[in-house]
């Protein structure tokens, strides 16, 4: 399958980005280096091209009903301008994908934002439950998405719009004119824990270039930089945010993954009775954060053992944290080993390196 480019591919090349295929797209992994980009976002502001993400519009009198049946969270709580984090449970106890649900019009129009690698899978999954003629539009290919993240992001962007970005509450959005482009949706749902916004707009009439240029013309003198997916991963991991394909997938229960808060048993949804039974019976394993005591970096798939060398879990994500200067990770552990400060051992090649269970977020 050929690898696609986002509308900003040329910009990334001009800026000397290190590119690599990710979820079927040529994506920038880093520009100035992951550590530098990470600190830029934590301390100031940076721009991520995340146009590879998927966007579906669901419309009609039965749109909310369909969303309620396929997602774990309670979307009936959403009012216009609000966003919700949720997941699509599968029928085997795992997760099809995690997603954001945007309420465009109460009860009748929603935007679902899904992971790039799961666009087709998610679309097909929702379609099979669409028994009441909900109007579905896959607008992923024509939607641009830039995430401007960091404590100074909204202050830098505010001069480009009359929408009030400075007071945009977490998990809400506004729509209006931005950098002279109409119908731009700006939300505050970031994946870095550093504050900031996401900017959605249609890829037409040179709008992508216009918005990119406006952001960097106003932001570059204030230290705004382009940021790659490498730093996006270290930033989200410091916050303990799950990455689909690493920490959650078709085999992981939302309850095991610590996503009980988005799993609402006040309604019926795919596999809800089995998940309710799992909750009642107690979880055999849980996703936890840990930091390395011995020197070494945990990686996805590494085994986690107890002091006696017995297998008790697996690493799902790991990195050297730029903010903490130490190696951290997420992993599933047998429940007996999940209390804080429990000592566990990560198998790195032929060594068992000591680590301890810590509270998430890491910072």
pLDDT score at 2: 84
Q: Which two tokens stand for residue 73?
A: 């969270």
For residues 182 and 234, membership in a common domain is answered with yes
- Strand order across the beta sheet in which 83-89 lies: 83-89, 95-105, 109-114, 54-59, 135-138
Q: What backbone phi and psi angles, to 5 degrees, belong to 236?
A: -70, -35
pTM: 0.97
Question: Is 185 part of a structural domain of the chain?
Answer: yes
Give dist(CA 247, CA 331) in Å, integer: 7
For residues 353 and 293, membership in a common domain is answered with yes
For residues 234 and 170, membership in a common domain is answered with yes
> What does each of the 363 residues of the chain score in pLDDT, given as a tens digit?
689 999 999 999 999 999 999 999 999 999 999 999 999 999 999 999 999 999 999 999 999 999 999 999 999 999 999 999 999 999 999 999 999 999 999 999 999 999 999 999 999 999 999 999 999 999 999 999 999 999 999 999 999 999 999 999 999 999 999 999 999 999 999 999 999 999 999 999 999 999 999 999 999 999 999 999 999 999 999 999 999 999 999 999 999 999 999 999 999 999 999 999 999 999 999 999 999 999 999 999 999 999 999 999 999 999 999 999 999 999 999 999 999 999 999 999 999 999 999 999 999
CATH number at residue 209: 3.30.1360.120
Give the Å distances, CA to CA, from 29 to 26, 82, 140, 180: 9, 31, 21, 29
Give dist(CA 1, CA 317) in Å, integer: 27
Smallest CA-to-CA distance from 255 within 238, 239, 240, 272 is with 272
pLDDT score at 1: 66
Tell me the angle at which helices 229-238 and 34-43 cross, rounded to the nearest 10 degrees: 60
pLDDT score at 183: 98
- Strand order across the beta sheet in which 18-22 lies: 4-5, 25-30, 18-22
Question: Is 269 part of a structural domain of the chain?
Answer: no
Query: Mapping DSSP to helix (H, G, I), strand (E, B) and coil, where does residue 60 land?
Result: coil
Contact 317, 324 (CB under 8 A): no
For residues 193 and 233, membership in a common domain is answered with yes
Question: Is 118 part of a structural domain of the chain?
Answer: yes
Strands (E), the chain: 4-5, 18-22, 25-30, 46-49, 54-59, 83-89, 95-105, 109-114, 135-138, 143-149, 173-178, 181-187, 196-202, 225-227, 285-292, 303-305, 311-321, 326-334, 343-348, 351-358
Question: Is 263 part of a structural domain of the chain?
Answer: no
Last residue of a domain, one of 73, 105, 138: 138
What is the domain extent for residue 36?
4-50+141-238
For residues 131 and 157, membership in a common domain is answered with no
Count of domains for the chain? 3
Give dist(CA 338, CA 344) in Å, integer: 10
For residues 133 and 147, membership in a common domain is answered with no
């Amino acid at each position: 399958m050929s690898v696609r480019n986002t509308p900003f591919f040329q910009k990334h090349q001009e800026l000397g980005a290190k590119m690599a295929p990710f979820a079927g797209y040529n994506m920038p992994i880093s520009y100035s280096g992951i550590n530098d980009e990470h600190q830029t976002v934590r301390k100031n502001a940076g721009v991520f091209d995340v146009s590879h993400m998927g966007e579906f519009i669901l419309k009609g009198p039965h749109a909310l009903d369909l969303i309620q049946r396929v997602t774990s969270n309670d979307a009936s709580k959403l009012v216009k301008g609000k966003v919700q984090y949720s997941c699509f449970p599968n029928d085997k106890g795992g997760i099809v994908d995690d997603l954001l649900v945007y309420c465009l019009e109460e009860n009748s129009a929603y935007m679902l934002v899904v992971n790039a690698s799961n666009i087709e899978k998610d679309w097909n999954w929702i379609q099979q439950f669409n028994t009441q003629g909900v109007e579905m539009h896959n607008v992923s290919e024509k939607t641009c998405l830039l995430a401007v993240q960091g404590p100074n992001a909204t202050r830098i962007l505010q001069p480009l719009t009359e929408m009030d970005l400075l007071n945009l509450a977490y998990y809400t959005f506004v729509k209006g004119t931005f950098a002279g482009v109409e119908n731009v949706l700006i939300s505050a749902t970031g994946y870095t824990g550093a504050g900031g916004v996401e900017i959605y707009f249609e890829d037409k009439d040179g709008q992508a270039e216009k918005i990119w240029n406006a952001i960097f013309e106003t932001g570059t003198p204030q230290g705004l930089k382009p940021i790659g997916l490498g730093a996006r991963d270290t930033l989200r991991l410091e916050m303990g945010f799950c990455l689909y394909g690493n920490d959650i997938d078709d085999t992981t229960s939302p309850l095991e993954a610590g996503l009980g808060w988005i799993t609402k048993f006040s309604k019926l949804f795919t596999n809800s009775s089995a998940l309710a039974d799992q909750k009642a019976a107690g979880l055999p394993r849980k996703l936890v954060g840990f930091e390395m005591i011995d020197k070494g970096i945990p990686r996805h798939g590494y085994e986690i053992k107890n002091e006696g060398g017995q297998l008790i879990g697996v690493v799902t994500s790991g990195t050297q944290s730029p903010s903490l200067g130490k190696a951290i990770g997420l992993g599933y552990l047998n429940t007996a080993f999940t209390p804080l400060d429990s000592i566990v051992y990560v198998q790195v090649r032929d060594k068992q390196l000591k680590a301890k269970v810590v509270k998430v977020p890491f910072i």
